[in-house]
Amino acid sequence: MEQDLEDFRFEVRAFLKEKLSPELAERARSGFYLSKQELFGWQQALYKKGWIGLNWPKEYGGPDWSPMQKYIFEDECAQAGAPILITLGLNQAGALLINFGTDEQKKRHLQPILDGTQTWCQGFSEPGSGSDLASLKCAAVRDGDHYVVNGTKIWTTIAHWSDWCFLLVRTDNGGRKQDGITILLMDMKLPGITVRPIIGLDGMHSLNQLFLDNVRIPASDRVGEENRGWDLMKVVLGTERVSAAGIWKAKAHFERLCLIAKSEMRNGRPLIESPRFRQRLSWLYLRLQALEEILLSVLADTSKLVGIEASLLKLRGTQLQQELLEMISEAAGYYAIPLHPGVLRDGWGDEEPIGPAYAAPATPFYLFWRKSSISGGANEIMRNMIAHTLLG
């Protein structure tokens, strides 16, 4: 068993060595912004190997791995600097459709999600509905075979790249706010959709606001029953939490931070020897080990995915990631200050980099990931959930 897993680890490592170009890995690892083509290309490579849709059942094209295999795969990918795929389609839309989609919907969407030819975004938050997601107002009114949707969605990551959006809409205002929510699949080419870019703290464009003006969505693109969308979403959110925890990414960031702290000098000695920096590193390393141990216990017993552990991992994993990214920016010293927007997208090319190679994206990357403790259920919501389990 242990030997099989070791063999599997080497197989993954060999694949990454063969298929992942060192330049792309370095760009991804350092936090440079990858293009849609680069991300798509990497998804294609994984798709051809059959190593995509890790949580999908085998009949839908998943690799049918054990929890430990998934763990090893994610771990090796993070260590190798593989691009982080956009998982809105693969994890959220995929899980939704596999569990609750009609045969027609599955046929239309699952294969293109898997091979990356269909990109998805998620229409959840609204200007007035952040952590209190169920208070959403974007309204859908039935008109014959269609729903007519009016309202706005915000923080919609990669809406400008997307072919489809899975949308939470209000179809009933009568009872409990959770009971009037419906899930619709929205073709982004439909008339009446406006996508407004939102520029993030990193100076870059990944977020958007959607304005929906009498958008007519066929009733056949509804998932599950009308007004029953909230219960369906709860099933999707547990796995999102564990992947949002990003323990694998944090491990890779830690290794990188240690290397950087050995190369940077402070007062004539490597930064890693500065007592305070060193102690903070040590603490992050201990926290990382503890979280990895807890993650493994969740993988060994997936019933914990909807329990206290998933909230714990999301809360502490994102904290850890944010602190590591802050320290990488800190290590860059003065070179943490300059902003080179073009470089973040395209790299330095033939130009000589200004400052150490890791420095240009260090602070923008840190700023970008301030979102990880806010999105997918803010960390305060995670505390609410843990407290609810403990205190009732």
Partner 1 sequence: MHIDLSSEQEMLRESAARYLRDRYHFSERTRIIASAEGYDKSKWREFGEMGWLGLPFPEEYGGTGGTMFDVTLLMKAFGRSLVVEPFIPSVVLGGLTILGAGSHECKKEFLPQIASGHLQIAFGFAEPKAGYDAHDVSTRAQSHGNGFRLDGRKAVVLGAPSADYIIVSARTGGAQCDAQGISLFIFKTSTPGVTLRSYQTIDGRRAAEIMMDDVRLGHDQLLGEAGSAAPIIDEVLMAGRVAVLGEAVGSLYGAVDQTIEYLNVREQFGKKLSTYQGLRHRVADMYILAREADALAGIAARAFIHEQGAARFSAISGAKAYVGEEGRWVAENAVQLHGAIAITDEYIVGHYLKRIIAIDRMFGDVEHNLDAFMKGVSALN
Active site residues: 240
Q: How far is the CB of 72 from partner 1 (least distance, A)?
A: 12
Could you tell me the two tokens for 94? 């995929």
Q: What is the 3-state secondary structure (H, E, C) of the chain?
A: CHHHHHHHHHHHHHHHHHHCCHHHHHHHHHCCCCCHHHHHHHHHHHHHHCCCCCCCCHHHCCCCCCHHHHHHHHHHHHHHCCCCCCHHHHHHHHHHHHHHCCHHHHHHHHHHHHHCCCCEEEECCECCECCCHHHCCCEEEEECCEEEEEEEEECCCCHHHCCEEEEEEECCCCCCHHHHEEEEEEECCCCCEEEEEEECCCCCEEEEEEEEEEEEEEHHHEECCCCEHHHHHHHHHHHHHHHHHCHHHHHHHHHHHHHHHHHCEECCEEHHHCHHHHHHHHHHHHHHHHHHHHHHHHHHCHHHHHCHHHHHHHHHHHHHHHHHHHHHHHHCHHHHCCCCHHHHHHCCCCCCCCCCCCHHHHHHHHHHHHHHHCCCCCHHHHHHHHHHHHHC
Q: How far is the CB of 297 from partner 1 (least distance, A)?
A: 5
Q: How far is the CB of 296 from partner 1 (least distance, A)?
A: 4
Which member of 291, 324, 331, 367 binds partner 1 (CB under 8 A)? 291
Which member of 142, 282, 346, 357 binds partner 1 (CB under 8 A)? 282
Binding mask 355-384 for partner 1 (x = CB under 8 A): -------------------------x-xxx
Pick the stretch among 12-20, 234-242, 288-296, 370-378 that binds partner 1 (CB under 8 A).
288-296
User: Does the protein bind partner 1 through residue 392 (CB under 8 A)?
Assistant: yes
Q: How far is the CB of 289 from partner 1 (least distance, A)?
A: 6
* C-beta closer to partner 1: residue 111 or 279: 279
* C-beta closer to partner 1: residue 191 or 390: 390
Q: How far is the CB of 390 from partner 1 (least distance, A)?
A: 6
Neighbour tally for 93: CB within 10 Å: 25
* C-beta closer to partner 1: residue 85 or 378: 378
Which member of 128, 289, 302, 354 binds partner 1 (CB under 8 A)? 289
Which member of 1, 145, 334, 391 binds partner 1 (CB under 8 A)? 391
Whether the CB-CB separation of 367 and 333 falls below 8 Å is answered with: no
Binding mask 296-315 for partner 1 (x = CB under 8 A): xx-xx-------x---x--x
User: Does the protein bind partner 1 through residue 7 (CB under 8 A)?
Assistant: no
User: Does the protein bind partner 1 through residue 324 (CB under 8 A)?
Assistant: no
Which member of 165, 193, 260, 294 binds partner 1 (CB under 8 A)? 294
Which member of 114, 272, 325, 336 binds partner 1 (CB under 8 A)? 272
Q: How far is the CB of 292 from partner 1 (least distance, A)?
A: 8
Residues at the interface with partner 1 (CB under 8 A): 254-255, 258, 272, 278-279, 281-283, 285-287, 289-291, 293-294, 296-297, 299-300, 308, 312, 315-316, 380, 382-384, 386-387, 390-392
